[in-house]
Amino acid sequence: MTTSSWISLSANFSDEREKLLRAVWADKYPHLWDTKNNRPSSAAFKDKNGLSVDRAGQRTDAEAVEYAKNHLHGFIVAATVEMCRKANVSPKYLPSKTNPYHSELHGSETTKPFSPMQALTLARNVIILYCPEENSMQISINPST
């Protein structure tokens, strides 16, 4: 899939089922992965400048993951808009010149950093969409089951 200037997504995230993809580069940053539970750690959801994600938009999971793999590294995990809102996390659509799907997750409408509980909630509930081949660990696809 190529980046196209005609891609236009709604800024209000009206589809609660839309997935917001995040890369977790566990090989380079081991503290981002909880090896005991084979899930991202809460550290993977902490960034004082806003948490970068790619929104799926109208793409299938496979299309969104393939696009993400072209510019990101490591595991690809996803939170739904509904999951974010239940954790009081605020999605912001912030496309860049090179990525029309780029968005950020903020701790609230007025602050970028997440609270520790918001980061932990997302870490426990994200869906693992892609596991890099170089990582031999077994993963749990369905969280909290």
- Give the model's pLDDT for residue 121: 97
Residues forming beta bridges with residue 20, ordered by sequence position = 55, 79
Structure token pair of residue 107: 């701790």
Identity of the residue numbered 134: E
> How large is the average pLDDT for residues 57-85?
96
Q: Nearest to residue 129, comparing CAs of 65, 60, 69?
A: 65
Q: Where are the domains of the chain?
A: 19-130
Residue percentage of the chain with pLDDT more than 90: 84
Query: What percent of the residues of the chain are helix, what percent strand, and what percent coil, each to the nearest 5?
Result: 20, 25, 55
Averaged confidence pLDDT in the chain? 90
Q: Which residue has the higher pLDDT, 101 or 7?
A: 101
- Give the CA-trace dihedral at 16, 12, 58, 85, to 10 degrees: -30
Q: What is the CA radius of gyration of the chain?
A: 14
- Give the model's pLDDT for residue 37: 94
Structure token pair of residue 113: 């950093």
Residue percentage of the chain with pLDDT more than 70: 88
pLDDT digits (tens, 9 = 90+) for 15-30: 999 999 999 999 999 9
- Give the model's pLDDT for residue 135: 53
Judged against a pLDDT cut of 70, whether residue 55 lies above it is answered with: yes
- Give the model's pLDDT for residue 134: 60
The DSSP symbol for 32 reads: G
pLDDT digits (tens, 9 = 90+) for 75-120: 999 999 999 999 999 999 999 999 999 999 999 999 999 999 999 9
Q: How many CB atoms lie within 10 A of CB 143?
A: 15
Judged against a pLDDT cut of 50, whether residue 140 lies above it is answered with: no
DSSP string, 62-88: HHHHHHHHTT--SEEEEEEHHHHHHTT
Judged against a pLDDT cut of 60, whether residue 4 lies above it is answered with: no
